[in-house]
Amino acid sequence: MALHPVIMAGGSGTRFWPLSRKARPKQFLPLASKSPLITDTVSRLKGLASVKDTLVVCGPVHAKQAMRLVKGLPKGNLLVEPVARNTAPAIALAALTVAARDPEGILVVLPSDHHVADTKGFRQTLAEAARVAAGGHLVTLGIKPHRAETGYGYIQVGEALPDGGRQVKAFREKPDPETAQRYVTSGEYLWNAGIFVFRADAILAAFAEHMPEMGKGLKALREAVGKRTWAGVLKRVFPKLPSVSIDYGVMEKAKNLAVLPGDFGWSDVGSFAALPEVRPADAHGNVVSGPEAVLVDCKGCVVVGDKRPLALVGLTDMVVVDSGDALLVVPKDKSQDVRKVVEALKARKREKFL
């Protein structure tokens, strides 16, 4: 039972501006350790799957960086999307590639920009998910919630399945605070981590059943896998595939679903406010990075400095980020809105800061 990790590395990471830019998005930044997030993602799979069986899906702008950061990745395992078309087409591209090599090979689909504290527990959960997926289930991992989080989608969990895992009753969009608290209190819900495990043939069958609009394009791609015509067919066909998430296109419709609960110190590192989840804080709850950062009478702040001195005095729960050519100052509870800065810079055509 060969496992084929599929590292999804196509995100733009706009909530981490000004550190994250078009040419160097979030997944290529060392946010949780001294290594870039994508490097950590691959490293934590050691002992479960090999790099030679790993696929990385990204866009043309990031292909060289991905190859450089994922040491030992075979050139043929870098799948470059001609254009961004959301997660369903990206996963279909990976599934076609795996199916051509190993029809019953098991895909382990992982975002490239998440953090896991308990790598051993994570690998054990993935191994169990692979065992369940070998029986034909489409498996998703759900994280036991530790708080009433409004920034995540939720999975409503049902009865235990005979082959392992639990039934999926429903997928829920990001809730308001009251709904999130109700979900957590009920004990019936898990955070949706966006981590999936399934056989190549099982997910391709699911695409055929639930996304027939992709059928013609996938047929053309399947016939071209491994041939000299591949690049041309990919360039012609892929942009015409529907831009749909795997959740909406397949997972919310399929009947052969299973969810596996996990509790291994997971974080999606969704904004600067999440850095205290993955980095050590000082006695006052401040997370500070940068050789010249100075904090006086500050509490609960996230500070990322550059080479020049950066000083904060008397601030509480603030994010201050100096990237050298740009400065961000935002309350922690507004850190999700940093993407609006990127939108504003786009509107002003300030390309050099994007």
Encode the chain (354 residues) as per-residue pLDDT tens digits: 789 999 999 887 789 999 999 889 999 999 999 999 999 999 999 999 999 999 999 999 999 999 999 999 999 999 999 999 999 999 999 999 999 999 889 999 999 999 999 999 999 999 999 999 999 999 999 999 999 988 899 999 999 999 899 999 999 999 999 999 999 999 999 999 999 999 999 999 999 999 999 988 999 999 999 899 999 999 999 999 999 999 999 999 999 999 999 999 999 999 999 999 999 999 999 999 988 899 999 999 999 998 899 999 999 999 999 999 999 999 999 998 999 999 999 999 898 888
Q: What are phi and psi of 73, to 5 degrees?
A: -70, 125
Residue 352: burial class (beta carbons within 10 Å; 0-12, 13-18, 19+):
exposed
Structure confidence at residue 306 (pLDDT): 87
Q: What are phi and psi of 296, to 5 degrees?
A: -125, 120
Structure confidence at residue 64 (pLDDT): 94
CA-to-CA distance for 115 and 145, rounded, in angstroms? 16
Structure confidence at residue 124 (pLDDT): 96
Amino acid at 261: P
CA-to-CA distance for 37 and 113, rounded, in angstroms? 5
Q: Which of 280, 265, 264, 286 is nearest to 332 (CA)?
A: 286
Helices (H), the chain: 37-43, 63-69, 87-101, 119-133, 177-186, 200-210, 215-224, 230-237, 246, 275-278, 338-347
- How far from each other are the two terminal CA atoms of the chain, in whole angstroms? 43
Structure confidence at residue 226 (pLDDT): 87
**36: its two tokens:** 């870039």
CA-to-CA distance for 73 and 229, rounded, in angstroms? 23
Please answer whether residues 136 and 202 qualify as being in contact, where contact means their C-beta atoms are separated by less than 8 angstroms. Answer: yes
